[in-house]
Amino acid sequence: MSDEPQSIDVALQPKPSDVVYDLDRALASVVGLRAQTPPNAFTAQRLGTDRSGHGVLIRDNGLVLTIGYLINEAESIWLVDCNGQATPAHVIGSDTETGFGLVQAMGDMSIPAIPLGSSAELKVDDPVIMAGFGGRQGSVMGSVLAKREFAGYWEYVLDEAIFTAPPHPFWGGSGLIGPDGTLRGIGSLFVQQALGDDDSVDGNMVVPIDLLKPILDDLMSYGRRNKPPRPWVGMLTAESEGHLIVGGLFDGGPADQTGVQVGDLVAEVASQPVHDLAQLFRSIWRLGDAGVGIPLTLIRDGQEMHVEIPSACRSDFYLKPKVH
């Protein structure tokens, strides 16, 4: 999920006549980001140890917004700006509910910060730019294809994610710039069904910037949102032919320790049937805070079985960041 930023085909470059703001100034707020994570990091089993992507300077004091999977458990982070200047940085915080991550540059950055806009005001068909490190050569002009619910197999739901096309090929942490030159979201994924139907339309899934505003102060003060965390069970679940199937487990996570197996079908949460990923995760979260028992009805080899998973806080499994 974290590809090396590279030059993009010039046919996709934004044209100055297509925008009504200072395009180069807006693009200059995007930095390249490289994070190194220890081999024993919990997230290394899925995301690797060498992660590259983008970040966006949102305050003149060096505060950079990115996508959290790039920086979780990172022991070193470097930022590179449009002038080629490399600056070390450290993790400020991340949020497992939205997926946002914050890092702080440990030196002056001679680039402009971009103002935060409104993702709620962004409409389908609005022109946007998926801005990556490298200015115009690292950015893609496109439009909003859809705004809809998104559920990810790693226990993640957004009520209204933003989907754009054409896709940025190096999407992680890229900035979604709206028609007025403000930041409207952060790039998270490449998707093949951006419209949400059976048609295969390649695009990017973007985390809306409005989700950052209520939690920004918490992330800066505590490194996380200041409320009890959601329960997490550590299953990687997929929808397949009308079933919810356990496609993977986090080694040592709650479900793994409880004896859940890859291939199990999830039929019920607390005796209530579940039919899709969003319903499954919301049913788990409704049971209480992290630590609550999660009763699941599973189907294994055609036989019904019942387990209760002692849920946990996902970030408790992460290595603790170094204090700077």
Structure tokens at 157: 């739901």
pLDDT averaged over 10-residue windows placed end to end, the chain, 324 residues: 38 55 95 97 93 97 97 97 96 96 95 98 97 96 96 97 96 97 97 74 96 97 96 96 95 96 98 97 98 98 97 93 57
CATH topology for 235-317? Pdz3 Domain (2.30.42)
Structure tokens at 237: 């679940």
- pLDDT value at position 4? 36
* CB-based burial label for 112 (10 Å; 0-12, 13-18, 19+): middle
Instruction: State the distance between the two ends of the chain, measured CA to CA, in whole angstroms.
Output: 28
- pLDDT value at position 8? 44
CA distance 6 to 170: 8
CA distances in angstroms from 201 to 171, 196, 207, listed in the order given: 16, 9, 19
**Strands, E, within 250-322: which ranges?**
265-269, 272-273, 293-300, 303-310
How many other CB atoms are found less than 10 A from the CB of residue 21?
Answer: 13
**CA angle, 190 as apex, 178 and 15 as ends, to 5°?**
40
- pLDDT value at position 2? 35
CA distance 157 to 290: 17
Residues 194, 124: contact at Cβ < 8 Å? no
Chain-centroid distance, C-alpha 154: 11
- pLDDT value at position 1? 36
Q: Which residue ranges make up each domain of the chain? A: 23-113+215-222, 235-317
Residues 103, 73: contact at Cβ < 8 Å? no
Structure tokens at 213: 């505003």
CATH topology for 23-113+215-222? Thrombin, subunit H (2.40.10)
Facing residues of 32 across strands? 54, 80
* CB-based burial label for 108 (10 Å; 0-12, 13-18, 19+): exposed
Q: Which amino acid is at 187?
A: G
- Closest CA relative to residue 161, chosen from 146, 142, 173: 146
